[in-house]
Amino acid sequence: METCYFRKFKNPIELHIPCRLCGKVYTITVEKEDYETYKSGMGYIQDIFPYLSAADRELLISQTCDECWHKMFDVEF
C-alpha cells in the first residue's frame, strides 16, 4: 500500500505502523497537528486526514494493512 499524494507539510511526522496480522511495517507521513487532533479523539479520521487513502486511515485505526483487510473481509460470490 503506497500513498501517493503531493502535499507540503508544515510539520510532518512519520508514523511507522506494523500490521497486526502480517507484521509488515508501513510508514505514513502526516501533519503533526493532525495526528495530535486524531489522538485526542476530537473528530472523524476522514475529516482529520482527508489527504490519506482509506487504506492508510484503516491502518491507523485497526493496525490492519489493506492486503490483510481484504483477505479477511472480501467475499467472492
Residue position matching grid coordinates 507484521:
23
**pLDDT confidence of residue 75:** 64
Any domain includes 57: yes
Any domain includes 11: no
Any domain includes 7: no
Number of domains in the chain: 1
The number of CA neighbours under 13 Å toward the Cβ of 35 is: 14
Any domain includes 8: no
Rounded percentage of the chain residues whose pLDDT exceeds 90:
82
CB count within 10 Å of CB 16 equals 8
**Amino acid letter, residue 38:** Y
Q: Which residues pair with 31 in a beta bridge?
A: 12
Range of the domain at 30: 19-73
The predicted model scores a pTM of 0.82
- Reply yes or no on whether the pLDDT at 37 is more than 80: yes
Any domain includes 1: no
